[in-house]
Structure 1
Amino acid sequence: MKYTQLGRTGLQVSRIVLGTMNFGPQTDETASHAIMDAALDAGINFFDTANVYGWGENKGRTEEIIGSWLARGGDRRDKTVLATKLNGHMGVGDPWPNHHKLSAVNIRRSVEASLRRLGTDYIDVYQFHHVDRLTPFEEIWQAIDVLITQGKVLYAGSSNFPGYKIAQANEIAARTGRVGLVSEQCLYNLAERRAEMEVVPAAREYGLGVIPWSPLHGGMLGGILRKEREGGGSRSKGGIAAQSLTDPAVRARVQAYEDLLAKHDLDPGETALAWLLTRPGVTGPIVGPRTAEQLDAALRAVELDLSDEVLTALDDIFPGPGPSPEAFAW
């Protein structure tokens, strides 16, 4: 495994991030534990989750599965950089006030609940899952300060923030001598490169590590057309991959992508992950394996060196927006 610093911090994290969203809904507790064991054995030390994972009436279940894994003892917790998120409504049915978003009261309530489910006394990276347009960052940072002083949180990160919110959050933090955000999770992959317009530049300017989610774009970059021919395809008829492929232009790009990789004897999923690892500012993509075999494929991507020829061809098939502000200003 290869490691890098998380943004401008001194925290060393693996270049593959283990996403746990499938733990519970798709993967049972025993299989989830086996995947976490395999990830740790392979050197992956960065585990990502969220308080809402488990979904519906089972919100929080994923954190509980991680907690039961940590409770098996050994040095699991010491070896793991644990990240979770808050923002989403944690109740069932109509939302109650102050049970979601980023108010000080919900930050306090949410961190205590996550710590109980995870069975740990601290969270390495506590992430704001979405923006909260109503709560000022002065209040958010005051609440995070309390958690840092109590030793319950070490760093704060964001997820799904636009560039201007990253700037706003860190400018307000800097005025009062706070560290501010150290990471940003965003939708970013070969087929979805809008983050390069504002989010990635803002993250790099303020020293945030970029953590892409959905690196295979819902399976679209994982060899989906080949799998269709072989009788497989996307696991969800209504998923992003299946929906996108109804567009002939998108389907043609995906076919060109798979043809290019077949020519160079490269696996599509591994290549999509390896491409992200070449992008400036990227700490590591989040992979969400449902099986140990899927984890193995992600691990191979770390060792995959893409040639300049392949990188240029990938840019031709999936062109990015170009540098900002030139891409939209002139």
Structure 2
Amino acid sequence: MRYRLLGRTGLYVSELCLGTMTFGGQGFWKVMGGLEQGAATALVKQAFDAGVNFIDTANVYSLGESETLTGNAIKSLGLPRDELVVATKATGIMSETAVNARGQSRYHLMNELDASLKRLQLDHIDLYQLHGYDPLTPLEDVLSTLNDMVRSGKVRYIGLCNMAAWQIMKGLGISQRHQLARFESVQAYYTVAGRDLEREVIPLIQDQQLGLMVWSPLAGGLLSGKFSPDGTGPQGSRRANFDFPVIDKPRAFRVVDAMRPIAQRHEVSVARVALAWLLSRPQVSTVIVGAKTPAQLADNLCATLLELSQDELKELDDVSASPPEYPGWMLTMQGQYRANPPVKD
């Protein structure tokens, strides 16, 4: 297991992060995994023993049950707190009857931080993330609340998930102007078959020195190589029951077809090739992997051992390239003006 810096924090996190969306089975979330305590604890131990020091969860996963199972696992295994980086999130609806149990109001975020700490059985959260954008709460108020959490010692760093580039940059500007704790990480969907993030968000990440945490690196299982274009796949699989995240499926299957011979040459799964492609991207801090079984997690963990050749990476880059969009193609043309310095005889 290798470790990478999370943005400019100076904090090292494992290049694979254990995602816990499969822990618990409350309501809708049961289709994600429905794992009970014994299975969840076994996966946490397996990941930690393999060198994973980063765990990501969220209050909304099984309405708190995922955090509870994660906290119980950490405690029962006796994992050293100073060797773990624990991340969670808040924004989503936590109650259908409590009208303020949603969004990013100070009321809701403060309540949810305390609830997450209690469920996780921790005295602080290493990375507390906004689980999306709340258009009804001024970002100044949200960042003021997060800043108070950091100053209280209950939160070490703050991050965000699933925001547009302008929203992220607006938040960074507010933090700089008011001297508040700033976003240090972005958690976003990014795969070899879904490279939209490269248009606006990744250039921002690089410019502002933010960490990038990738979720759903296998596109909900579609890039495992176990699905066919006619929609058939493993019985009981997540993608079969919940067709998410949104993806250009014809392009995705072209990418899968390109990955198959690469996987065969290396004698590995197609999923490992998809993960290895992500791990080759210098802007990626960590890739979040979730699993229902020890075998799935073991295969994902082995992706750290796979090094694709430059020719293989180029082949995957070419087949997965996003179609050009404005202003991207104009920016590329403009960049050529400065690509080579002038020469004077």
Q: For residue 20 of structure 1, what is the aligned residue in structure 2?
A: 20
Superposition RMSD on alpha carbons, in Å?
A: 2.7
Contact 1:197–1:322 at 8 Å: present in 2 too?
no
Q: For residue 338 of structure 2, what is the aligned residue in structure 1?
A: none
1:240 and 2:248 equivalent? no
- SS for the counterpart of 2:224 is coil
User: Structure 1's 324 and 175: CA in aligned 2 closer, same or farther, altered over 3 A?
Assistant: farther
Contact 1:197–1:325 at 8 Å: present in 2 too?
no
The CA deviation at 1:128 is 0.2
Q: For residue 340 of structure 2, what is the aligned residue in structure 1?
A: none
Supply the distance in 2 between the matched residues of 1:179 and 1:145 (Cα, whole angstroms). Answer: 5
The CA deviation at 1:253 is 4.3
Supply the distance in 2 between the matched residues of 1:243 and 1:50 (Cα, whole angstroms). Answer: 21
User: Structure 1's 304 and 67: CA in aligned 2 closer, same or farther, altered over 3 A?
Assistant: same
- SS for the counterpart of 1:116 is helix
Contact 1:224–1:234 at 8 Å: present in 2 too?
no
Supply the distance in 2 between the matched residues of 1:106 and 1:68 (Cα, whole angstroms). Answer: 24
Deviations 1:273-329 (A, max 9, x none): 111111131101110011111111122111211101111111122113569842376
Q: For residue 40 of structure 2, what is the aligned residue in structure 1?
A: 32
The CA deviation at 1:260 is 4.5
Q: For residue 315 of structure 1, what is the aligned residue in structure 2?
A: 317
1:295 and 2:297 equivalent? yes
Contact 1:164–1:202 at 8 Å: present in 2 too?
no
Contact 2:23–2:36 at 8 Å: present in 1 too?
yes
Amino acid across the alignment from 1:71: K
Amino acid across the alignment from 2:20: T
Q: In terms of mean alpha carbon deviation, does 154-163 or 170-179 score higher?
A: 170-179
User: Structure 1's 179 and 136: CA in aligned 2 closer, same or farther, altered over 3 A?
Assistant: same
Q: For residue 83 of structure 1, what is the aligned residue in structure 2?
A: 87
User: Structure 1's 168 and 283: CA in aligned 2 closer, same or farther, altered over 3 A?
Assistant: same
- SS for the counterpart of 2:222 is coil
Amino acid across the alignment from 1:19: G
Q: For residue 337 of structure 2, what is the aligned residue in structure 1?
A: none
- SS for the counterpart of 1:221 is helix
1:49 and 2:49 equivalent? no
User: Structure 1's 175 and 312: CA in aligned 2 closer, same or farther, altered over 3 A?
Assistant: same
- SS for the counterpart of 1:65 is helix
Q: For residue 144 of structure 2, what is the aligned residue in structure 1?
A: 142
Which of 153, 176, 179 lines up with 2:178 in the alignment? 176
Query: TM-score by structure 1 length?
Result: 0.89
Contact 2:130–2:160 at 8 Å: present in 1 too?
yes
Q: For residue 62 of structure 1, what is the aligned residue in structure 2?
A: 66
Amino acid across the alignment from 2:65: R
User: Structure 1's 2 and 239: CA in aligned 2 closer, same or farther, altered over 3 A?
Assistant: same
User: Structure 1's 266 and 153: CA in aligned 2 closer, same or farther, altered over 3 A?
Assistant: same
Contact 2:213–2:285 at 8 Å: present in 1 too?
yes
Contact 1:216–1:222 at 8 Å: present in 2 too?
yes
Q: In terms of mean alpha carbon deviation, does 60-69 or 311-320 score higher?
A: 311-320
The CA deviation at 1:265 is 3.9
The CA deviation at 1:138 is 1.6
Supply the distance in 1 between the matched residues of 2:203 and 2:232 (Cα, whole angstroms). Answer: 40
Deviations 1:145-180 (A, max 9, x none): 221122100000000011111101111101122340
Q: When the two structures are aligned, how many residues end up with a matched partner?
A: 323
Structure 2: 5+ residue stretches without partners: 26-32, 334-345
User: Structure 1's 35 and 264: CA in aligned 2 closer, same or farther, altered over 3 A?
Assistant: closer
Amino acid across the alignment from 2:3: Y
Contact 2:14–2:54 at 8 Å: present in 1 too?
yes
Supply the distance in 2 between the matched residues of 1:241 and 1:151 (Cα, whole angstroms). Answer: 36
Q: In terms of mean alpha carbon deviation, does 247-256 or 16-25 score higher?
A: 247-256
Amino acid across the alignment from 1:286: I
- SS for the counterpart of 1:131 is coil
Q: For residue 342 of structure 2, what is the aligned residue in structure 1?
A: none
Amino acid across the alignment from 1:38: Q
Q: In terms of mean alpha carbon deviation, does 163-172 or 138-147 score higher?
A: 138-147
The CA deviation at 1:261 is 3.3
Supply the distance in 1 between the matched residues of 2:236 and 2:223 (Cα, whole angstroms). Answer: 11
Contact 2:259–2:273 at 8 Å: present in 1 too?
no
Supply the distance in 2 between the matched residues of 1:137 and 1:51 (Cα, whole angstroms). Answer: 21
The CA deviation at 1:251 is 3.7
Q: In terms of mean alpha carbon deviation, does 273-282 or 230-239 score higher?
A: 230-239
The CA deviation at 1:238 is 4.2
The CA deviation at 1:71 is 2.4
Give me the identity figure in percent: 37
Map 1:240-279 to 2 at 5 A. 240=243, 250-263=252-265, 265-279=267-281
- SS for the counterpart of 2:147 is helix
Q: In terms of mean alpha carbon deviation, does 186-195 or 73-82 score higher?
A: 73-82
1:162 and 2:164 equivalent? yes
Supply the distance in 2 between the matched residues of 1:49 and 1:301 (Cα, whole angstroms). Answer: 22
1:4 and 2:4 equivalent? yes
Structure 1: 5+ residue stretches without partners: none
Supply the distance in 1 between the matched residues of 2:327 and 2:245 (Cα, whole angstroms). Answer: 33
Amino acid across the alignment from 1:64: T
Supply the distance in 2 between the matched residues of 1:311 and 1:219 (Cα, whole angstroms). Answer: 21
Q: In terms of mean alpha carbon deviation, does 210-219 or 255-264 score higher?
A: 255-264
Amino acid across the alignment from 2:103: K
